[in-house]
Amino acid sequence: MGKIIIASKNPVKIQAVKNGFEKMFPNQKFEFISVSVPSDVADQPLSNTETFQGAKNRADNASNEIKDADFYFGIEGGIENLDDEMEAFAWVVAKADGKYGKSRTATFFLPKQVVQLIKEGKELGDADDIVFNRKNSKQESGAVGILTGDIIDRTKYYTEAVILALIPFKNVDLY
């Protein structure tokens, strides 16, 4: 049985990692443990680079905290300005045996009201809660779920990126 450390207590991120492993390694059993570790970046990363660094830092920090696991996962949501708009996305970093698997989710653009609150210093999840009159949406469907009517919820959104981050570990001979 493989031991998987997820560098988050967020139930959405935990479930996405579980889903990814079940799909990529359906005949194996895994133990999943969630830990809270720092990203060492801003609470709301404001660029692709900062978001990637946050995910990688989470995987690294989890591996420093718990030494005997097979995989360590960091997932970090971020935003970035593009022209006059703001896109949202997340990075997923898997770490095992000193190697990394990396993937970024698809991107989507945020509504103007949400963007304005972010520019005023709010995190995306808090801005979503205000604009859409929700509570703790980042641990549920998130902005992607709210804006798609849950056609793509936050768990599904992250699961695809988890699967892609596992490619080097499923195809060891190629990486």
| Torsion on CA atoms 110, 114, 120, 123, rounded to nearest 10 | -80
Flag whether 153 is marked binding. Answer: no
Q: Is 90 annotated as a binding residue?
A: no
Q: Which residue has the tokens 């970046």?
A: 41
Distance in angstroms (rounded) separating the CA atoms of residues 137 and 113: 16
| DSSP designation for 111 | P
Q: Which residues contact 65 (CB under 8 A, 6 or more apart)?
A: 35, 37
Backbone angles phi, psi at 81, to 5 degrees: -75, 135
Output the known binding site: 68-69
Binding annotation for Mg(2+): 68
Annotated binding-site residues for substrate read 68-69
